[in-house]
Structure 1
């Protein structure tokens, strides 16, 4: 009986120990089951954050490499364009005639200059009766000065027409690219549909491409024939897009806006400087005009200026001062922008 009572007491003690242990384990299991999702989400979020951080760092490094390579490509393109521009500073007579849009060769131009000088010299000798010094001046002006002045005026007028039409041509390219046409087809549209001198210049680029020349080289040659900043801007934009990529339509659209703003600024400067130019023209033409009217009304009063040594020095001094005044006024009314 004593042994049975001891066994019963041992079972009771073991039961009293095991029951709290099972209750504690059950409570711990319930707490773990309730709190595990929160800890799991936190660990997963931290893991995703670490992974995304690594990937973000790699992506940022790759993006930085791409941007640095694009910057390097743009800098190289600008440097090449500047080197080509510096190399093409020497302008030959043939290039000037191409810029003027004439079919005349340099030999024909020199021959026409000689004929012009001969005609003016003959007129000065047989009609005006000028002395030898005056004849030499007329020969110099008629053979070298007048033909080159006319040629430069033709070049400037043609360049002004080209710049005035370039923004509309760029808009044609932008609309063509947005509609799905390649750049070469857009240039062909400009060459066939645009007015002169835009059509002839882009037609030359199209013909050069047919002979195997790249578009960038064709535009560079076009910049040599038409050396205006607007054409240089367009060439640089297209060259950078071909080398570094990007949205060409957006870049050209921004360029067209910039060109129109430059034209508006030029017109505003022209309007603001019109009064100053008119004043300079009046002041510059007043002395020779008064001298001509005095000569026509009373020749004996002004003839000592042309027949005496003192009169010759006075005419020379007046001409020098007038030239200096005209140059100063020209410098004052010409604005660079």
Structure 2
């Protein structure tokens, strides 16, 4: 097939993906605005408020499978307002666009490689979104511990204090605590509700906070003093984590530059010698060399990320 046709198809698919993402962002913003107007006006909730879901038939079929339930669990930990069906369609469009673009700009051999990288990137995006949400939640933990300490010092029960914290804090802490409050309202124990939250947002700081709350609820100890001390500790850990991220920012940029340099070199070779990548990947030795080079670039990326990962 003509490379220009492949390039046009890839650009069309990417444009369609951007249109879908734009519509999704617009619908989500419209729903948030409607919810805000409803909350400020203190009126009764109108029927049918919320964003209309797309691909409902696909979503229903996907949720019945183990793969669909896995996607749903991953999305639940990221806080994204996307259904498994919508996420799958977006990923397939992105993979198809990357496949056609790589085949048109480089060589047909790079199409499947770009597709695999697209699938890996989708999973990496979910992991990054989950980590980002967890980091935001960790930054709110000192304020959360302070609110719980003030509420319990005022004589309120722990369940009531969690409900107050859910109303006072912004997302993601407010959303997660609202889930905990809903679990407690339907009869779940504090251990179960807080344990589910710790599984959704795994971090040492949250585990310490949950352990403190659970032990205080069981033994009836001095929860106010424990939360006060924990607030100071969480503030110190927050500052330490911020300093570490600042020190490692250059290393993280280097990790992403390594594969970018490899891609840029391929584009440069194909620009200087048109058809060189086609001839190179047309032989088994050339394909093997390309796969080995891609493996080495990936290994370098992973090693740099691993060396720059410091547990606090």
Cα separation, 2, equivalents of 1:307 and 1:103: 44
CA distance in 2, matches of 1:284, 1:122: 20
1:169 aligns with 2:144: yes
2:112 alignment counterpart: 136
Instruction: Note the C-alpha offset of 1:95.
Output: 2.0
Whole-Å Cα distance in 2 between the matches of residues 292 and 121 of structure 1?
15
Query: Quick one: distance in 1 between partners of 2:253 and 2:92?
Result: 35
CA distance in 2, matches of 1:301, 1:104: 41
Pairing partner for 1:100 from 78, 89, 93: 78
Structure 2: state its 5+ residue gaps.
1-68
Of the three residues 108, 112, 117, the one matched with 2:95 is 117
Report the equivalent of 1:299: 273
Q: Contact between 1:305 and 1:314, CA under 8 Å: does it hold in 2?
A: no
Q: Determine the structure 2 residue equivalent to 1:229.
A: 204
> What is the aligned-residue RMSD (CA, Å)?
3.1
Q: What whole-Å deviation, never above 9, does each CA across 1:140-190 have from its counterpart, x for those lacking one?
A: 444x32332222222111111111111111101112222333322221221
CA displacement at 1:245 relative to structure 2: 2.3
Query: How far off its partner does 1:96 sit?
Result: 1.5
Instruction: Name the CA distance, whole Å, in 2 between partners of 1:120 and 1:301.
Output: 19
In structure 1, distance between residues paired with 2:111 and 2:301? 25
Contact 2:258 2:297 in 1 (8 A): no
Deviations 1:114-133 (A, max 9, x none): 344344445556x55853x5
Q: Decide which of 147, 165, 174 is 1:190's aligned counterpart.
A: 165
**Is 2:166 the partner of 1:180?**
no
Distance (whole Å) between structure 1 residues aligned to residue 205 and residue 89 of structure 2: 34
Equivalent residue for 1:82? Answer: none
Distance, in Å, in 2 between the alignment partners of 1:271 and 1:232 is: 25
Q: Which residue of structure 2 aligns with residue 65 of structure 1? A: none
Residues 176 and 330 of structure 1, relative CA distance in 2, 3 Å threshold: same
Query: Which residue is equivalent to 1:200?
Result: 175
C-alpha separation in 2, matches of 1:289 and 1:138: 14
| Larger CA Rg, structure 1 vs 2 | 1
Question: 1:257 Cα deviation (Å)?
Answer: 1.9
Report the Cα distance in structure 1 between the residues aligned to 2:269 and 2:116, rounded to whole angstroms: 29
CA drift at 1:334:
1.8
TM-score, normalised by the number of residues in structure 2 = 0.66
Structure in which a larger fraction of residues adopt helix: 1
The residue that corresponds to 1:210 in the other structure is 185
Whether contact under 8 Å (1:205, 1:222) holds in the other structure is yes
Counterparts of 2:177 and 2:138 in 1: how far apart (Å)?
A: 13
* Per-residue deviation, 1:231: 1.9
Query: In structure 1, how many angstroms separate the alpha carbons of the residues matched to 2:302 and 2:196?
Result: 35
TM-score, normalised to structure 1, is 0.61
Uncovered stretches (5+) of structure 1, i.e. residues with no partner = 1-90
Alpha-carbon separation, structure 1, partners of 2:284 and 2:180: 61
1:306 deviation in Å?
5.1
Number of aligned positions between the proteins: 243
**Contact 2:198–2:207 (CA under 8 A) maintained in structure 1:** yes
Counterparts of 1:267 and 1:227, CA distance in 2: 18
Post-superposition shift, 1:203?
1.0
SS in 2 for 1:205: helix
| Structure 1 position 276, deviation (Å) | 3.7
* 2-structure distance, mates of 1:309, 1:201: 53
Of residues 270-279 and 206-215 in structure 1, the stretch that sits farther from structure 2 once superposed is: 270-279
